[in-house]
Structure 1
Amino acid sequence: MSMDYRLRRTLPGDRVAIIMPVDHGLIFDRIEGLETPSAPFAAWGKQDVTGFMMTPGQVRQSARFFAANPHLTRVLTIDTYYDYRQQDGGGSHGLITSVEEAVRMGVDAVKMLFPWNMSRAEQVAMCTRVGQVVNECNRWEIPLVLEPVLIGAPRTEAVIEQEEKVARIAYDLGAHIIKIAFPGEERTRRLVDELKVPLVIAGGPLSGEPGDTVDAVAQTIRAGARGVIVGRNIWQREPGAGKKVLADIARLTRQVKFDD
């Protein structure tokens, strides 16, 4: 399979992608709404999502489900980071599987965190690791979703500005898709226009009213993002409210087509 084939599966041209992340166990252990790691696929896979962001364990356990639902894409998280709560550069990042193994499992893309609130030495090691993964992704023709983030930092203006700068580093390292926490409509549009690499926006932890989530997605779509990564703001809500949020988001994503 080619890079272009996998990119088009991950980010379809006839709509904005809705990728539901359910890989939180790699960092959060047992998390509310995800007590049974394989449960979200049957619960949400028949709703209007385009795919899931998953752990290696989930990929293996859900193989039959995805074989029966081949329209759904799978993005495999290949790394982890501890301790995510620390903001003083004390965390540790590492790979948990390989690009070759991801290809063997038949997923459509791989995903890595790109934490930046680390020491200078750790930043260099992080860039080296990302560069090696990018090379492997190019060799195996599978896209890398790279996520610039200041782990555990509050969403202040300074943090948002810094993550925007780190997105440029992600581009220069060769990321095929960049995933970033929503920095606002104007900044999202600027990143899309300047980097000319598909941008997907992360929904983050459960917060605010359902309408706030839908409004943020609307801004994201207006700014030209190719996908939204929304999990906890759907599956941590009461089921009826979560389904309504997803339906409202899906309607927005189907109003856009891409000429690629």
Structure 2
Amino acid sequence: MSMEYRLRRVLPSSRVAIIMPVDHGLIFDRIDGLETPSAPITAWGENDVTGFMMTPGQVRQTERYFAAHPHLTRVLTIDTYYDYREQDGKGSHGLITTVEDAVRLGVDAVKMLFPWNMSNEERVAMCNRVGAVVRECENWGIPLVLEPVLIGAPRSDEVIVAEEKIARIAYDLGAHIIKIAFPGEERTRRLVAELKVPLVIAGGPLAGTPSDTVDAVAQTIRSGARGVIVGRNIWQRERAAGEQVLAEVAAITRQYQFQD
């Protein structure tokens, strides 16, 4: 399979992608809604999502389900990161699997965090690590979703500006898709226009009312994003409310088509 084939599966031209992340166990403690790691996949796979962001364990445990639902895509998280605020005050990032293993598992893309609130030495090591993964992705024909982020930082104007700059570094390192916390309509539109790399926008933790989530997604899509990464704002809500959010979000995503 080629890079182009996999990119078109992850980001279809007929709509904006809805990718549901369920990979939180790599970083977080036990959280509500993810006590059984594979449960959200079978619970929400029939509800008009286009795919899931998953851990290696989840990919292996759900092979039969995805074989029976080949329209759903899988983005494999290949790294983990532990908070720079803990222990010695430094972040710690590393790979947990390889691009070759991802291809062997049959997934459509791989995903890495790109944390930047660390020492300059760690930043250089991070860039080298990303560069090596990009080379492997090119060799195997599988896209890399790279997530520029300041881990644990509040969503201040300064942080938003910084993450926009980090997104440019992600582009320069060769990311095929950039995942970023929503920086506002104007900044998203500018990033889309300048970088000319598909942007997908992270939904973040459960917050606000269902209508707040739908409005945020609508702003994201109007700005030119090719995908929305929405998990906890759906599967941590009461079931009826989660279904309402997802149905309204899906309706918005189907209003857009793309010429690739």
With the shorter chain as reference, the TM-score category is over 0.9
Amino acid at match of 1:233: N
- Gaps of at least 5 residues in structure 1 are none
- Aligned match of 1:71: 71
Structure 1 range deviating more: 165-174 or 23-32: 23-32
Distance 1:52 1:85, change over 3 A: farther
Deviations 1:155-213 (A, max 9, x none): 10000100000000000000000000010111100000000000000000011111111
- Aligned match of 2:120: 120
Amino acid at match of 1:246: L
The TM-score with structure 1 as length reference comes to 0.98
- Aligned match of 2:28: 28
Q: Identity of counterpart residues, as a percentage? A: 81
> What SS is found at the alignment partner of 1:28?
coil
| C-alpha displacement of 1:42 | 1.3
Alignment check: 8 A CA contact 2:84 2:118 kept: no
Alignment check: 8 A CA contact 2:83 2:152 kept: no
Deviations 1:139-168 (A, max 9, x none): 000000000000000110000100000000
Mapped to 2, the partners of 1:77 and 1:216 lie a distance apart of 25
- Aligned match of 2:83: 83
- Aligned match of 1:107: 107
Alignment check: 8 A CA contact 1:89 1:119 kept: no
> What SS is found at the alignment partner of 1:146?
strand
- Aligned match of 2:183: 183
Alignment check: 8 A CA contact 2:6 2:108 kept: yes
Q: How does 1:139-150 map to 2 (within 5 A)?
A: 139-150=139-150
Mapped to 2, the partners of 1:205 and 1:81 lie a distance apart of 17
Alignment check: 8 A CA contact 2:108 2:143 kept: yes
Mapped to 2, the partners of 1:173 and 1:79 lie a distance apart of 17
| C-alpha displacement of 1:127 | 0.3
Q: How does 1:39-54 map to 2 (within 5 A)?
A: 39-54=39-54
- Aligned match of 2:209: 209
Deviations 1:115-145 (A, max 9, x none): 0000000000000000000000000000000
- Which runs of structure 1 show a deviation greater than 4 angstroms over 4 or more consecutive aligned residues? none
> What SS is found at the alignment partner of 2:6?
helix
The TM-score with structure 2 as length reference comes to 0.98
Alignment check: 8 A CA contact 1:89 1:117 kept: no
Mapped to 1, the partners of 2:73 and 2:29 lie a distance apart of 24
Say yes or no: does 1:58 pair with 2:36. no
Alignment check: 8 A CA contact 2:52 2:72 kept: yes
Distance 1:31 1:149, change over 3 A: same
Mapped to 1, the partners of 2:89 and 2:16 lie a distance apart of 35
Query: What RMSD over aligned residues (CA atoms) do the two structures have, in Å?
Result: 1.2
Deviations 1:201-227 (A, max 9, x none): 000001111111111110111111000
Deviations 1:22-52 (A, max 9, x none): 0000001311110000111111000010000
| C-alpha displacement of 1:90 | 1.2
Q: How does 1:195-206 map to 2 (within 5 A)?
A: 195-206=195-206
Amino acid at match of 1:231: G
Alignment check: 8 A CA contact 1:55 1:77 kept: yes
Mapped to 2, the partners of 1:207 and 1:89 lie a distance apart of 28
Mapped to 1, the partners of 2:147 and 2:12 lie a distance apart of 20
> What SS is found at the alignment partner of 2:189?
helix
Distance 1:187 1:89, change over 3 A: farther
- Gaps of at least 5 residues in structure 2 are none
